[in-house]
Amino acid sequence: MGGVGMPRNRQQIPREERTGDLLAAATELFLAKGYAKTTMADISSAAGVARGNVYWYFDSKDHIFAAVMNRLLSREIRILNEEQAGADPLSRLVRGLSDMRYSRPLHQAMHDRLPYSEAVREAHNTFLNWIVGLVDELMAERGLDHDPGVDAALVRDVALAVFEGANVPNDRNRPAHEMIRFLMESVMARSAGAKGRER
């Protein structure tokens, strides 16, 4: 008979629940200790899962880290869809980036792992694609996607650079959502000004 607090074996609980327990534990540990100082043993212990059983669900620490990042983004998208359903793409993008400020250390760790892990690169690309998608929605909504005065590819690249740069440690530490709003409002104002001069 297993005692209270003892690790459960993999037959005792559904796979989805076990995976959720591992991801929740990993998220807390990565935020508290950082990626480098967190071990798979730490994660299994915090999740109440036998140490060897972790590898039934995740091949490596990079794989569990990538799953943590995908889960964070999926959760944020779900929240935005529920709470910001009628909001414009800029508001949703700004809100999403603002909500994710607490996970900035995880984004920094993700950058550190990019050269070494395909799983982390895929998770990183998912974040970038989400940002590009909202930027494209915003430009289409404002009629900027076919505006000859707006370089849509450049706007996307700058938006991504803002997101990436905001996740690199620096002295100024200005939030990404503030810079994204400034960028997009500047693009819209410039386009509106150019159209006004053409009339």
Q: For position 2, what pLDDT does the model report?
A: 43
- CATH classification of the domain holding 127: 1.10.357.10
User: Which pLDDT band holds residue 1 (cuts at 50, 70, 90)?
Assistant: very low
Question: Is 68 contained in some domain?
Answer: yes
Q: CB neighbours of 93 closer than 8 A, spacing ≥ 6? A: 131, 134, 135, 138, 177, 180, 184
Residue 140 has pLDDT above 70, yes or no: yes
Residue 7 has pLDDT above 60, yes or no: no
Q: What SS3 state is found at 117?
A: coil
Cα 131 off chain centre by = 10
Question: Is 75 contained in some domain?
Answer: yes
Q: For position 75, what pLDDT does the model report?
A: 92
Residue 3 has pLDDT above 50, yes or no: no
Cα 44 off chain centre by = 23
Residue 46 has pLDDT above 90, yes or no: yes
Answer yes or no: do 100 and 132 share one domain: yes
Among 6, 128, 4, 111, CA closest to 65: 111
Over residues 59-78, the mean pLDDT reads 95
Domain that holds residue 22: 15-56
Question: Is 28 contained in some domain?
Answer: yes
Over residues 128-156, the mean pLDDT reads 87
Give the tokens for residue 85.
């359903």
Q: DSSP secondary structure string, 1-65?
A: -PPTTPPBPTTSS-HHHHHHHHHHHHHHHHHHH-TTT--HHHHHHHHTB-GGGGGGT-SSHHHHH
Q: For position 89, what pLDDT does the model report?
A: 83
Least confident window among 6-10, 58-62, 141-145: 6-10
Answer yes or no: do 93 and 119 share one domain: yes
Greatest pairwise CA separation for the chain in angstroms: 82
Answer yes or no: do 118 and 189 share one domain: yes
The whole-angstrom separation of Cα 125 and Cα 136 is 16
How many CA atoms, within 13 angstroms, populate the side-chain half-sphere of residue 50?
A: 10
User: Which pLDDT band holds residue 121 (cuts at 50, 70, 90)?
Assistant: very high
Residue 64 has pLDDT above 90, yes or no: yes
Average pLDDT over all residues of the chain: 83
Least confident window among 19-28, 95-104, 159-168: 159-168
Over residues 167-184, the mean pLDDT reads 71
